[in-house]
Amino acid sequence: MKPFDYSRPAEASAAVAAVAGDPGAAYIGGGTNLVDRMKLGVTEPTTLVDVRNLLSDRIEELPDGRIRVGGAVPNSDLAAHPEVRRRFPVLSQALLAGASGQLRNVATTGGNLLQRTRCVYFQNRAMPCNKREPGTGCSAVEGYGRYNAVLGASEHCVATHPSDMAVAMTALGARAHVLGPAGERTVDLPGLHRLPGAEPERDTVLEHGDLITAVDLPHLPLALRSTYRKVRNRASYAFALVSVAAALDVVDGTVVDARVAFGGLAHAPWRAHRAEEALRGGPATEEAFREAGRVELADADTGPDNAFKVPMAVNTLALVLRGLTDEEAR
């Protein structure tokens, strides 16, 4: 690991100034992904600015019904919070499907959103990777492709976003509060994470020095009936091959409203607007659910290693929506 300076500013503005003014600086929250990348030599900051004790670790209910999650709230605490469990089961379930108990106890809300892909080539400095070293090429296109993206990829990068939490937040339409050198702003999900295009080194729309200080969960009664389903190589402690976050409102056999996001399919958590559109106003039937999945995956670009993801995504979506429909009927 390369040597680095370490600081722990008392004010958020000082932290932002410290990182924004130093191209080699990085924020550290829980560090569960960053420290690992530093050990691998994938990320080599010359300065770490610790914001774990600086950012809020509280979960607050706002008067208008939103829930504000401090940027330093650990994943465990967010998953276990009574109001999150009640109002956003999809989010609790997504968090609990990720990582291990030890990691969830440390990993922060802001850091989870900004964790980087676990593409084996990104994590291996001996191999070319446009995300790690722009312009060197993508080893995954012709290499081990089981985890490769099937939607929204580019010739430059086929990596998938690793977060479960972000998939749920993308379905819910969460809003990130960002403090940057020019002041505060908000960035909505979807919209925080970007597709690779010609700049796969950029995972998000954030600029160097931007700091996620909190995430708001919207007032969304639809989410009372929501769920997260993750398909992976083993039953626990593995990244998603495919995951689905969904919320569904069915009245008299008709879908009134739906929210759907996929994980494991793309460079960003994939909000399934086409599937949602196909579902709304239609029958809450197995065939309609499958058709919605097929519509969303219509443009999928697959290779021999990851072609399985298309039927897996369609099947998982149908399973999830059927479960939510049955739940509604009870």
Partner 1 sequence: MEATITLYVDGGRHDLTVDTRTTLLDALRDRLGVTSPKKGCDHGQCGACTVLLEGRRVVSCLALAVAHDGARVTTAAGLAEEGRLHPVARAFVDHDGFQCGYCTPGQVCSAVGMLEEVAADWPSHVTEGLDAPVRLSDEEIRERMSGNLCRCGAYVNIVAAIREAAR
Rule CB under 8 A: say whether 233 interacts with partner 1: no
Q: Convert residues 106-145 into a mask of x (bound to partner 1 by CB under 8 A) and - (unbound).
A: x---------------------------------------
Spatial CB neighbours of 148, under 8 Å, sequence gap ≥ 6 = 140, 141, 158, 159, 160, 303, 305, 306
Report the residue number, 106 or 120, with the smaller CB distance to partner 1: 106
Rg of the chain (C-alpha set)? 19
Q: Which stretch binds partner 1 (CB under 8 A): 91-99, 246-254, 262-270, 276-284?
A: 91-99
Selected from 23, 83, 100, 205, the binder of partner 1 by CB under 8 A is: 100
Rule CB under 8 A: say whether 330 interacts with partner 1: no
Report the residue number, 235 or 329, with the smaller CB distance to partner 1: 235
Provide, rounded to whole angstroms, the least separation between the CB of residue 134 and partner 1: 25
Rule CB under 8 A: say whether 241 interacts with partner 1: no
Selected from 16, 25, 48, 192, the binder of partner 1 by CB under 8 A is: 48
Rule CB under 8 A: say whether 52 interacts with partner 1: yes
Residue 27: closest CA among 54, 59, 58, 2: 54
**Partners of residue 212 on adjacent β-strands:** 178
Report the residue number, 17 or 103, with the smaller CB distance to partner 1: 103
Selected from 31, 71, 209, 269, the binder of partner 1 by CB under 8 A is: 31
Q: Which residues bind partner 1 (CB under 8 A)?
A: 1, 3-6, 8, 28, 31-32, 35-36, 39-40, 48, 50, 52, 76, 79-80, 85-86, 89, 92-93, 96-97, 99-103, 105-106, 235-237
